[in-house]
Amino acid sequence: MTQRAFPILFITATRIGDAVLSSGLIRFLADQIPNARFTIVAGPLAAPLFAHVPGLDRVIVMEKGKGKGHWFKLWNQVRHRKWGLVVDLRGSGTALFLRREKRAIWKKALGEPVHKVIDAARVLKLEGDPPSPHLYITPEVQALADQMLAPRPDRAGGGEPDGPILAVGPASNWVGKIWPIERFAQTAAQMLGPQGPLAGGRLLIMGGPGDSRMVEELRMASARGRYVDLTGKVDLLTAYAALKRADLFIGNDSGLMHIAAAAGIPTIGLFGPSDERRYAPWGERTRAVRGPRTLDQFLAVDPDLSQAIRHMSDLPVATVVRAAKELLAQVRAGAVAEAQAALAVEPQPVEEDAAELAVEDAATTPELYPVVEDVAEPDADHQPAEPPIEADRP
C-alpha cells in the first residue's frame, strides 16, 4: 500500500559551513524514514546546497531582517501544515508555535566546546558516531563537473596532464582567516613538483564570485595547462562534484573546506583565529593545521575576532606541506591495506531463497527510536528567541 508522507521541517544554518556540517542529519532522517518529505529552511548562501535532497518538497530561503521579523515571516509560511517532525538547529523556538507530532530544538550546551557535527547530532539525541556531512547531487551535476576537469588537448597533439589534482581554497569570509596567497602558490609548487606526492598533476583553484582578483597570483605561478580555475564559475554543488575528483584539498577555514571534507577527499584545513575543536574538517581523512599561536593568543590581540588583521601570517609553508604529505601517505597506506584485506576474503555463498521482508502500511507515524522525544507544550506567552547558534562565527 502507498505510504503516507511524513513531513519534516528542517531549519538549518545561514552560513555555508554550518549548513554542510548539519547535512548528515538530513541523510540520517531520509534513511530512517523512507516516506519523509523535507521542507528545508536555510540562508541565501547555504540554500543551494539542498537542491537535490531526496523527498524534497521545498527549500525556503530565509533572509535575516530587522529584529525578529524573519522568524515571523517563516512561521507564516509553514504554519498551515501539521508536521511529523520539526528540527530547529537555530534554536529559534519556531517549533513551539507549529502543529507537529515531534520536535527537536538546538540548545546551547555548557562545558567544553564540541564539534558542530556532534552538536547537531545531539539535537536528535543520537548516540555513538554522529552522521557525517553529506550532500546530494544528480548524475548531471557530476557530469558537468567532470567535463570542466577533463584535460584539454592542444593543436600539437599534446595537452593538459591527466594526473592527480590538488584543489585549493585560498579565500574565507574574513581577512583574519586567510593564509597569504603566495604561500598557497609555494605549497602547490612543492606538492605538484617533480619530488612532490602529486607530481605531474594539476592545480584546481576554487572560490566565490568575489575571489577572482585574490587568486590571480596562483594562476600566474602555475604553468600553462597545469591549472583549472573554477573561481566564481560554478555553484556549490558543482564545486562539490568537482572536489570529489580531487586527490587533496588545502584551504582556509571556510565553507569550501567543509564541502571538500564532505566530498570524502583528503582535506587540510588551515586554522588561526578560529576554533578547530568546533570547526575542524570532519572525517578520518582530514587534518586541522595551525601555526605557533593558540586561539586564546589570537583572542588576546583581537578579542572580538573582527579586526582587519592578517592573523595567519605565522603559519609556515613547511608546516602545511608536511601535514599534507603525512595525510596523503596515511590515506594511501590505508587504501593498500583495504585492497589486501579484500583479496584475502573469500566470497560467501548467497542464499537464493531468502524470505522477503514484509512491508507494513505506514499510515501511522514512523517510529523515530533514538531521534527525538516530544516535550510539554510551551506557555502561551513564550516567544521565539533570536538564534544564538551562529553568533560566534566572525
**Is there a domain that residue 101 lies in?**
yes
Cell of 157: 597533439
**Band of residue 348 on the pLDDT scale cut at 50, 70, 90:** low
pLDDT > 70? residue 157: no
Going edge to edge, which strands form the sheet with 100-105? 56-61, 36-42, 6-11, 83-88, 100-105
DSSP 9: E
DSSP 210: G
Q: What is the mean pLDDT of residues 5-31?
A: 97
Nearest to 232 by CA among 247, 251, 213: 213
Q: What is the pLDDT of residues 125-155, one digit of tens each?
A: 998 999 999 999 999 999 999 999 998 776 5
Last residue of a domain, one of 342, 361, 381: 342
Least confident of 23-27, 30-34, 51-55, 225-229: 225-229
**In the block, residue with C-alpha cell 591549472:** 227
pLDDT for the residue 376? 37
Question: Percentage of the chain surpassing pLDDT 70?
Answer: 85
Q: Do 97 and 169 lie in a common domain?
A: no
Least confident of 128-132, 181-185, 386-390: 386-390
Q: What is the CATH number of the domain that holds 328?
A: 3.40.50.2000
pLDDT for the residue 158? 58
Cell of 112: 567544553
pLDDT for the residue 61? 97
Q: How far is CA 299 from CA 176, 263, 275, 304, 305, in A?
A: 12, 32, 11, 7, 7
**Bridge partners for 60 per DSSP:** 41
Q: Do 240 and 323 lie in a common domain?
A: yes
- Show the domain range for 228: 140-150+160-342
Q: Do 325 and 202 lie in a common domain?
A: yes
Q: Do 271 and 166 lie in a common domain?
A: yes
Question: Percentage of the chain surpassing pLDDT 90?
Answer: 72
Q: Do 114 and 231 lie in a common domain?
A: no
Q: How many residues does the chain have?
A: 394
pLDDT > 80? residue 364: no
**Interatomic CA distance for residues 166 and 243, integer angstroms:** 9
pLDDT > 50? residue 378: no
**Is there a domain that residue 361 lies in?**
no
End-to-end CA distance of the chain: 51
**Is there a domain that residue 350 lies in?**
no
CB 240 within 8 A of CB 137: yes
Q: Do 43 and 85 lie in a common domain?
A: yes
**Is there a domain that residue 312 lies in?**
yes
**Interatomic CA distance for residues 223 and 220, integer angstroms:** 8
Nearest to 256 by CA among 28, 49, 10: 49
pLDDT for the residue 356? 40
**Interatomic CA distance for residues 115 and 125, integer angstroms:** 15
Q: How far is CA 241 from CA 112, 196, 254, in A?
A: 35, 25, 17
Q: Which of 60-64, 154-158, 348-352, 361-365 has the highest mean pLDDT?
A: 60-64
Q: Do 79 and 223 lie in a common domain?
A: no
pLDDT for the residue 349? 60
**Is there a domain that residue 385 lies in?**
no
Last residue of a domain, one of 300, 324, 342: 342
pLDDT > 50? residue 370: no
Nearest to 3 by CA among 364, 386, 256, 291: 364
Q: Do 66 and 14 lie in a common domain?
A: yes
Which position has the higher pLDDT, 115 or 359?
Answer: 115
Q: How far is CA 284 from CA 21, 59, 280, 330, 332, in A?
A: 15, 31, 11, 10, 13
Which position has the higher pLDDT, 252 or 371?
Answer: 252
Q: Do 206 and 334 lie in a common domain?
A: yes
CB 73 within 8 A of CB 92: no
pLDDT > 60? residue 78: yes
**Is there a domain that residue 368 lies in?**
no
Q: What is the pLDDT of residues 299-334, one digit of tens each?
A: 999 999 988 899 999 999 999 999 999 999 999 999
Q: What is the pLDDT of residues 162-178, one digit of tens each?
A: 799 999 999 998 999 99
Which position has the higher pLDDT, 102 or 393?
Answer: 102
Q: Do 206 and 95 lie in a common domain?
A: no
Q: What is the pLDDT of residues 219-272, one digit of tens each?
A: 888 877 799 999 999 999 999 999 999 999 999 999 999 999 999 999 999 999
Q: Do 107 and 166 lie in a common domain?
A: no
How many structural domains is the chain composed of? 2
Task: Tell me the pTM.
Answer: 0.86
Q: Do 205 and 310 lie in a common domain?
A: yes
**Is there a domain that residue 391 lies in?**
no
**Is there a domain that residue 135 lies in?**
no
